[in-house]
Structure formats: C-alpha cells, structure tokens
Structure 1
Amino acid sequence: MAYKDEQLNEEKVFKDPVHRYVHVKDRVIWDLISAAEFQRLRRIKQLGTSYLTFHGAEHSRFNHSLGVYEIVRRILFNFEGREHWNKEQRLLCLCAALLHDLGHGPFSHSFEKVFKLDHEEFTRKIILGNTEVNHILQRVDKGFPQKVADVINKTYEDKLVISLISSQIDADRMDYLQRDAYFTGVSYGHFDMERILRVMRPLEDQVVIKSSGMHAVEDYIMSRYQMYWQVYFHPVSRSAEVILSKILHRAKDLYQQDYTFSLKPTHFLSFFTGDVSLEDYLRLDESIVLYYFQMWADEADPILSDLCVRFTNRKLFKYIEFNPNLQMEEWMELYSLFEKAGMDPEYYLVVDSSSDLPYDFYRPGEEGERLPIHLLMPNQELKELSRQSDIVESISGKKRTDHKLYFPMDFVEALPDDEPEKARIETLLGLSQEK
C-alpha cells in the first residue's frame, strides 16, 4: 500500500476539551504529529501574553493545530460524495490544516514585529526545508510538500482547498474562537459549530453555507467580534506585549552598542543581526525566551533589568485612552517631560493601537480583499451574507480602532513632589484628577 493511503491498525484519539476527541487514522498525519517541528508547538502559547490577563490561557499552538485538523476532518467527512468535491484532495487538506501554524515563533506577533520576521515564511521554510516534516511529506510524493506550502500560502490552484483553512469562515477561526474562549473562561467565543459544519457545501472555488444555517453564521461573526475586543485586544495583555517588545528592542540595541551581557544571548544572536537560519528559529521557544528574561533581570543595564523584572513578575504599565492622531501636541510634551524626569520615553511612554474588521464584503482591487461568506439559497442562487443578514450588515466593512498610551505609574508616583515635571505629567495623563 502506498504511504499516502496507509492507515493505522487502530484509530488514535487525542482527548480534547473543545472537540471532545481528535481522531487520527492516517499514517501520514500520525507521523507529522510526532515530528520535532510539530512537537515544538507545545512550547509556543496560542495567546502569547494573554496568560498574564486570563490565567487559564496557557494553551499552545499544538492544541490549536490539532483542533483545526479535526474540524477539517469533519468537514471533509460531510463533503464525501458531494458534487465539486475531489476526494483526492483529502490528505492535502488535512496536512495543510495540521501544519498551518508551524512557523509561529515565541510570543508570535510581538516577536515578529521587533525582528521583522514573518511566521508564514518560516512555515514555508519548515515544510520545504531539511526537516522531519518535509521528509514525511516527501514520502507521500516529491511534489507534495510544495502543494501543502501553497495551500497555506494561499497560492494553490484549487481555491476551495484554501478556503477550508483561510477564509472568513474557516477551520482556523472556528477552532481558535472556541478554544480561546474555553481557556480564557469567557462566554463570547461560543457558537453552534456543529450546525455550521452540517450546512457547509463545496463549490468550485469556495465553501458556501446553506441559507438555513444563516443564524449560526451570524452567531459565529458576533463571537469573533466580541472575542477581539474582550480578549485579543485586552489592554492588560497589550501592556504585557508592550513590555515584551521593549525588552527585545533594548536587548537588540545593547548588542549593537557592544554591551557585554552577563549571560551571552546565544539564542538571540542571529535575530539581533537579522540573519536568522531555520535551525536558529526552531531552537528558540518561549521557555528559552523566559529563561533569558529571568537572567536579564540581573543585568547592569537599568532599563533591560527593570523591563524584565516587570514582565517576569507582572508589574505592568498602566494605560489611558489616547489618540495620537488627535493629541500629537500632548504626546510631544509628554515625551519631553519624561526625558527631563529621567524616564526614557522610548521605553516608558508607548502608544499602542489595535484595530479589527469583523466582517468584510468583496470590494475588488482593495488591498487584502477578503472573499465574503456566501449563502446558498433554496433555488441554488448565491447571496452574500451581509445582504441577507441585518446583524452582519450592521458591522460589515466597519473597521474599529482603539488607542492606548502605556506608562509606568510607579515611576511617575515616585518622582519627588518638588520635581517641576511631575505635576504637568500627572495633568497630561489625567492622574491629578484621581487625587
């Protein structure tokens, strides 16, 4: 029997708090789960710094990746025998679902911004490089790794396959919304996924939803909207991200200034120089990063030491509502006052903005255009979701942005009362009204 068709003697199951069980029967999937690069995802948290806000959010990208695989497996089971579905694509879909997050690094998005990296590019490098994952995929077919990479990169010729893991209603989102809601303990991310899976239908270039399932999809869209504002953009989690980013910036700046670290930052050297090999990337996970943060807490550099103590012991920055587009003069004055008061504003005065577009309809030519969700009407006609749903129409195409200004309240309070800058800083930050 060809490797791609090989089945395990007995189905393996992973007990899962969200989907109850994750079922594995394909030898290829079982081997991929055992690969070193996939096991590494156990050491990367799904929600980055959110565990400092929601203490249950300790789940990993390993959990999530298994969940996305399981949802796609269930979708494909329902697709069997349907028109427009090519069963020869089954294994490709399952592998792409399982491996879609393979390239995420520690504290993913903050880390990427500081070192100008792209986790999708590293996903591609892992799948196509000299890795255990690549060797397993090559056993299916020499061209199979490239196909998997193309699906994840959204360049594969069959758009239906891509839409299963990358669209406005895909297995990736359906898993992380429910999983993140479960582990953070909030109620917003719950929706009737079983209903959605039952009404999904394959067409030539996308998955569509039977119109009878519209209300379940409305619930899904609103769940996503609420999760972004209540969990993903939570200001306390963002405060931790700000400090994390500033630690990495400070360490990089010190290295470029030939600063002598007490503990040589071996795992970070190629990141500091911008020449990151795949091997270096795979060696760095969150346990390593946190170890360095603990060591750097004792560094001679006061800024690096302070920031690491703050992150490690959850002594986070406070925040106020602050729109830099409307308050530029206040921002410039605060920047100057912080400098005079001995608080480096590059590290201790940070504007952070978050924005989200909960649902978008198709607007040709727009950057980052998104294929909308289509409903399949009883007469087989397709209708775009927001044209049928008043709820979805009310938030369609509406980008919401939130701005916060982060600063160390303890430093401001510790300034001597006779320090000329203190009163003005407190006034600008709105702290004087609280006294």
Structure 2
Amino acid sequence: MDSSIKLSEEKVFKDPVHGYIHVRDKLIWDLIGTREFQRLRRIKQLGTTYLTFHGAEHSRFSHSLGVYEIVRKIIDEVFEGRPEWNADERLLSLCAALLHDLGHGPFSHSFEKVFRLDHENFTKQIILGDTEVNEVLTFISDDFPQKVAEVIQKTYHDKLVISLISSQIDADRMDYLQRDAYFTGVSYGHFDMQRIMRVMRPREDHVVFKWSGMHAVEDYIMSRYQMYWQVYFHPVTRSAEVILTKILQRVKALYKLGYSFKKEPLHFQSLFEEKVTLADYLKLDEPVILYYFHMWEEEDDPILCDLCHRFMNRNLFKYVEFDPAQQYKVLRELEDLFRDAGIDPEYYLAIDSSSDLPYDFYRPGEEEERLPIHLLMPNGELSELSRESAIVQAISGKRRTDHKLYYPKDLLQRMSGENKIAERILSILHRF
C-alpha cells in the first residue's frame, strides 16, 4: 500500500472531547477496523472506576482514537512545514498514537499484577505477530510494524516522534485527562489544550513550549495532579481493585489445589499455567471476566463466592489510613486476630499504597527517567519548566504516597455480637 493513499471521502467519529476525530488515511481506517483494535471497545479505560464514578464506562477504543486525533492535529496543524519536523514520520506517528494501548487486557493493572503480565509486551506481539493489525501495517513495508513497535517501546531513533505519545506532556496524557474528567463528571482534568498545542514547537529530540504559553502548561500539570488524587487513586476505586485482585488470586490458588469448579475457568487456564499465547490473551475482555465472576457467585468455595458477590454487587471493603512501615506490629496483630476469628487475612485484609510524582526534572539512572518540560524563551534559549514556574517548582520532584488498609467491616459487624475477637478487631481499626 502506498503510504500516501487517502480515502475517497474523509471519515469522522463524533467525540465528546474533541468534537470530531478525522480519518483521511486509508491505513488508519483499516487499522481501526481490525479485530484487535475493535477488541478495545470491550476494555474500560478506567477499570473499576465505574464503581465509584458511574459515568466512567468509556473504553480504551475511544481513548486510542483521541490520542490519534491529538497527534494528527499537532502534526498537520502545528509541525507542518517546520524544518525540525520530518514529514516522512507522519504516518508512523499516527499509527503509534492509535495503537499505543493495543495490548491492554481486562482490568489491566490487576491482571498484570496477579498473572505477571505486561501489556506493553502484548502490544508488541499484536503489532509484530500473526494478526490483522500486522497485516495492515505490512502493506506499507515489511519493516513498518517494527518501527511502530519501537516508537511505542520508546526505542525508535527519532526521539521527537516518541515524545508525541510518551513524555511528561504528551498526546496520551492530554487525551486521558480530559476524557476521564468528562466521563467521571469531575472538574479537575480540564485545561486549555488548544493553547498548549499553539505554543508547541518541535526540537531535535522532544517537543518544547513557547514561554508565552507557560500558564497553560502549569494548568495541565495541576490538572494531572488533581486527577490522580481525586479520581485515579480514589480509595473506593482502590477497594474494588483490591477485591478484584483477591478474586483472581483465589481462583489461581483453587486451580493449583485441584478444586472442582462448577464453572471451569477455561479462559484462565493458560494464565494459571503461565503459558499465555497471544490468541488466548486476545480472547480475554471485560465481559468475559464479568461472566465468570457472575457464575462464581454460586461456587462452593465460600471465599471465592463471597468476593465475587462483593464485586458484582458493589459491597466493597471499608478502609482506614494506615502506614505499614510505621504500624507493622499492628498489622501482624490484626492478621493473627483475623485467623482466630476464622477470617482469612490473605483475602480479607489488604494494604494498598498509591504513589505519584506529578512532575520531575531529568534524573539520569532513575528507574523511570523523565525528560523535563522545556520552555522556549524569548531569546531563543531553552529553560526547564520548574525554573520559570513557582507553581511547578512547588511540586517538582516531590513524591506523594498514600496508604490504606482495607477490610470487610460488614462481616466483622455481623460477627461482633457473638464473637469477642471480631469486636477486638473493630476496636483496633476504629483507632485509625
């Protein structure tokens, strides 16, 4: 396929965030129609957040289209004609933007944690493997799928292309902050994206921003900070994540013990045996997982039955503020008391910690190297954002961590009338 082939007529998707998403390139239209990309309609962008914010039902499909549209606008409306931008990288950039989340699984992060999976690895496998996506990409050239995979993996030689979808201010973040704010109904995630795009300028290895647009960039940084603590790290959402994780752990443990399921976890077997093929992985989506959870509400195993009932009916664990580093002796005491009360702490007592670094300057050798955001000053020189912005300087390099202890308060209250141990557990937890 000639990379310049256009559709006879532009296709558009009506979008609540961007108004319209425009597709003129035949390659992009063909990628959207592949079974692997259509699967993203069945993966929620925000996992269990819909149990906290009922509007958060949007999918990774709509987010991926949004990231594509932002990159398209940057390339076609901001970078076009600028000498620092290589126009030959246009289609590669659009494909990487569209396909950057292709390997996400159902309830992504819980699945990855329990089954030791990596969605980025599956993204690479889908792009390079025996898939419809690979078939479409190969029409451009035999090495084009590899180039797309390298951009997403951040190993491609043109760092400017990578920075469009992976930097401290990129199309991925600009879409999900606005999209997640829209669907959760909160006011935190809104910022002036049009202004940010107007002051973007390409440089050799990353995007910079004109000094005159610094306040729009500040607004973006603060929007990100607020969204993480008010939405992404919401304690109720984390409670649902805890229960989801415990269900998966319990199913895995029962399978290893040879438990006889009423509803055999056929879709999970390769996960349990750690031999997940790409074909197995692509059969997993959230409707499939929720079907199993619904069926497991009738299992004989009381723990699996109870946890599935809690998740499906939103009967979540309660929480208290709890620092495991400072209060590890209390945690050990609670674990012993839970066992004495006949409640397995492995599944009913959980520490969840959330941590975020909203903005950082470059620190070579760190686990996650972060290129700083640079401002293009009136004299033509570059200056790192936190040097010019007192607001950003105040939060720069500061990691905030939040710890919660989750437990089944309803179960303990039911037991407390006749069980002194349950009363003791509640009295300890009420101190926090």
State if a TM-score over 0.5 links the two structures: yes
| Residues paired across the two proteins, number | 431
1:392 corresponds in structure 2 to 392
Query: Which amino acid is the alignment partner of residue 334 of structure 1?
Result: L
Answer yes or no: is the 8 Å Cα contact 2:412–2:423 preserved in 1: no
Range 422-431 or range 194-203, more displaced: 422-431
1:260 aligns to 2:260 (yes or no):
yes
| Cα separation, 2, equivalents of 1:399 and 1:411 | 35
1:113 corresponds in structure 2 to 113
Structure 1 residue 56: Cα displacement: 0.2
The runs of 5 or more residues in structure 1 that have no matched partner are none
Q: Deviations over 1:98-127 (max 9, x none)?
A: 000000000001110000000000000000
2:53 corresponds in structure 1 to 54
| Cα separation, 2, equivalents of 1:183 and 1:360 | 28
1:241 aligns to 2:241 (yes or no):
yes
| Cα separation, 1, equivalents of 2:303 and 2:366 | 42
| Cα separation, 1, equivalents of 2:174 and 2:423 | 49
2:382 corresponds in structure 1 to 382
| Cα separation, 2, equivalents of 1:45 and 1:55 | 12
Query: Which amino acid is the alignment partner of residue 52 of structure 2?
Result: T
1:178 aligns to 2:181 (yes or no):
no
Q: Secondary structure at the match of 1:354?
A: strand
1:192 corresponds in structure 2 to 192
User: Scaled by the length of structure 1, what TM-score is found?
Assistant: 0.98
Flag as ranges the 4+ runs of structure 1 deviating above 3 A.
none
Structure 1 residue 416: Cα displacement: 4.0
| Cα separation, 1, equivalents of 2:419 and 2:135 | 65
Q: Secondary structure at the match of 1:147?
A: helix
Answer yes or no: is the 8 Å Cα contact 2:416–2:423 preserved in 1: no
2:410 corresponds in structure 1 to 410
Answer yes or no: is the 8 Å Cα contact 2:208–2:373 preserved in 1: yes
Q: Deviations over 1:334-381 (max 9, x none)?
A: 000000001100000000000000000012222211001000111110
Structure 1 residue 418: Cα displacement: 4.3
1:29 aligns to 2:39 (yes or no):
no
Q: Secondary structure at the match of 1:5?
A: coil
Query: Which amino acid is the alignment partner of residue 353 of structure 1?
Result: S
2:44 corresponds in structure 1 to 45
The runs of 5 or more residues in structure 2 that have no matched partner are none
1:366 corresponds in structure 2 to 366
Query: Which amino acid is the alignment partner of residue 55 of structure 1?
Result: H
| Cα separation, 2, equivalents of 1:418 and 1:113 | 38
| Cα separation, 1, equivalents of 2:182 and 2:146 | 34
Answer yes or no: is the 8 Å Cα contact 1:126–1:278 preserved in 2: yes
User: Scaled by the length of structure 2, what TM-score is found?
Assistant: 0.99
Query: Which amino acid is the alignment partner of residue 14 of structure 1?
Result: F
| Cα separation, 2, equivalents of 1:226 and 1:416 | 39
Q: Kindly report which structure 2 residues correspond to 1:96-245, keeping only aligned pairs within 5 A, or say none.
A: 96-245=96-245
Query: Which amino acid is the alignment partner of residue 414 of structure 1?
Result: R
Q: Secondary structure at the match of 1:82?
A: coil
- Percent identical pairs in the alignment equals 71
2:84 corresponds in structure 1 to 84
| Cα separation, 1, equivalents of 2:114 and 2:359 | 29
Q: Secondary structure at the match of 1:4?
A: coil
| Cα separation, 1, equivalents of 2:207 and 2:91 | 18
Range 413-422 or range 354-363, more displaced: 413-422
Answer yes or no: is the 8 Å Cα contact 1:3–1:28 preserved in 2: no
2:312 corresponds in structure 1 to 312
1:344 corresponds in structure 2 to 344
